[in-house]
């Protein structure tokens, strides 16, 4: 049996887009949105511990040192890098990090002031076309990088993947029976270009599997 030291974090998740990497993450202050609320209330935020675990050797890497008032997001795999968002509430700064899976070097892919972010709600990095996005007040979907876009979506929609100019959302309904739909929107206009029952999953080799 291989023993992996994950600093007390007892749950691993696969990194989307690769079969070689897993991650472990602490949520002592909740997610980024909850941490943002704590900091705005004048309370100190416990820093996020993010660990990247390579398969099959089990080597553990901590790409960013855990610091007070700093939150890190879940990673995705893109072009050989494990990419994730980081918010430093004390420095009022948002970064997109890229950890090279081969040479294990960390780079800052993008940096912006926190006051340019509408809200930290669902703020995260997504692949395949790498993108930093979140949801602002109401039902506004916000793209912050690599371009700036904003448009309205349904309350039940959740964004999960981008490929070129196609944005993939999953939506759920209870009318009265529960069902799910896959919604594809155009990145330039936000308009729906496809809407089909079912869902889509991104496999470790990058393939898209439609289920429905």
How do residues 42-96 score in pLDDT, each as one tens digit? 999 999 999 999 999 999 999 999 999 999 999 999 999 999 999 999 999 999 9
Q: Could you tell me which residues come within 8 angstroms of residue 1 by beta carbon, excluding any fewer than 6 positions away?
A: none
* pLDDT for 127: 86
| pTM to 2 decimal places | 0.92
Q: pLDDT confidence of 30, banded at 50, 70, 90?
A: low
CB 36 within 8 A of CB 69: no
| 139 pLDDT above the threshold of 90 | no
* pLDDT for 28: 64
Tokens of 136: 């602002």
Q: pLDDT confidence of 29, banded at 50, 70, 90?
A: low
Please give the C-alpha separations between residue 202 and each of 168, 176, 205, in angstroms, as whole numbers.
11, 29, 8
The pLDDT tens digits of the residues spanning 163-196 come to 999 999 999 998 888 999 999 999 999 999 999 9
CB 200 within 8 A of CB 168: yes
**Segment 189-207 mean pLDDT:** 91
Domain boundaries, given as residue ranges, for the chain: 1-121
31-35, 50-54, 139-143, 185-189: segment of lowest average pLDDT: 31-35
Please give the C-alpha separations between residue 108 and each of 63, 97, 186, 211, in angstroms, as whole numbers.
11, 5, 28, 36
């Amino acid at each position: 049996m291989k023993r992996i030291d994950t600093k007390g974090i007892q749950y691993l998740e696969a990194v989307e887009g690769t079969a070689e990497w897993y991650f472990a993450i602490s949520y002592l202050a909740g997610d980024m949105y909850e941490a943002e609320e704590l900091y705005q209330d004048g309370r100190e935020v416990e820093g996020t511990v993010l660990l990247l675990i390579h398969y099959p050797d089990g080597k553990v890497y901590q790409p960013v040192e855990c610091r007070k008032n700093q939150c890190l997001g879940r990673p995705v795999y893109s072009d050989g890098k494990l990419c994730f968002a980081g918010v430093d509430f004390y420095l009022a700064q948002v970064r997109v990090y890229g950890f090279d899976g081969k040479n294990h070097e960390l780079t800052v892919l993008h940096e912006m002031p926190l006051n340019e972010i509408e809200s930290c709600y669902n703020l995260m990095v997504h692949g395949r076309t790498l993108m930093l996005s979140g949801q602002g007040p109401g039902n506004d979907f916000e793209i912050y990088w690599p371009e700036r876009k904003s448009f309205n979506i349904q309350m039940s929609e959740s964004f999960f993947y981008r490929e070129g100019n196609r944005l993939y959302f999953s939506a759920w309904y209870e009318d009265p029976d529960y069902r799910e739909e896959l919604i594809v929107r155009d990145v330039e206009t936000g308009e729906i270009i496809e809407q089909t029952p079912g869902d889509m999953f991104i496999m470790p080799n990058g393939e898209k599997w439609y289920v429905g």
